[in-house]
Structure 1
Amino acid sequence: MPFTPEEIRIDLMCGRGDDGHWHGTIGVSVDASALWRLGLHPGQPTSAVTGTSPPAWWHAAGERYATRRGQ
């Protein structure tokens, strides 16, 4: 994975909706320095990644996941 556990934070926010039922939302935060490593930063002139690409298994796992979700 391109992020270490210290670089990512996942928050669960729960509450009652207008109808009285409980619902939850997940918020994901990533340190800006971790995004810079992947070439994602405000000074980036284009949408092309300027950092190193994630390993091949990362792309393969994403393709498998996308294929399963399409079924």
Structure 2
Amino acid sequence: MPFAEEEIRLDLACRREPDGHWRGTVSVSVDARALWRLGLHPDQPSSLVDGPSPPAWWHAAGQRYATRRQPVVKRHAS
């Protein structure tokens, strides 16, 4: 793993939903110096937008796929 144990922090927050079910959220934090070591910082070239945004239909299609309630069935050729 590229990070030492003391460079990572995991937090768990739990709460009870109105319907009585429990919900948990995990947060992962990594020390900024560890990210710099890997070249992940605001000045890196890939952190800036370097081209045009995708067309509006692309975003709309992503939203439709994300909110689709039916499970995706993958069919394999036999």
TM over 0.5: yes
- Structure possessing the higher radius of gyration over alpha carbons: 2
Question: Runs (4+) of structure 1 moved beyond 6 Å?
Answer: none
TM-score, length of structure 2 as denominator length: 0.56
1:15-30 aligned at under 5 Å gives the runs 15-30=15-30
Instruction: Please list every run of 5 or more consecutive structure 1 residues that lacks an aligned counterpart in the other structure.
Output: 48-71
In the TM superposition, what is the alpha-carbon distance from 1:39 to its structure 2 partner?
0.7
Indicate yes or no: 2:14 matched with 1:14. Answer: yes
Number of residue pairs matched? 47
Identical aligned residues as a percent = 72
Counterpart residue type for residue 11 of structure 1: D
Counterpart residue type for residue 12 of structure 1: L
State the structure with bigger RCO (CA 8 A, min sep 6), 1 or 2: 1
TM-score, length of structure 1 as denominator length: 0.61
* Alpha-carbon distance in structure 2 between the residues aligned to 1:3 and 1:21: 34
Indicate yes or no: 2:24 matched with 1:35. Answer: no
* Alpha-carbon distance in structure 2 between the residues aligned to 1:18 and 1:33: 40
Instruction: Please list every run of 5 or more consecutive structure 2 residues that lacks an aligned counterpart in the other structure.
Output: 48-78
Counterpart residue type for residue 31 of structure 2: D
Deviations 1:7-56 (A, max 9, x none): 00000110011322111111000000000111100011126xxxxxxxxx
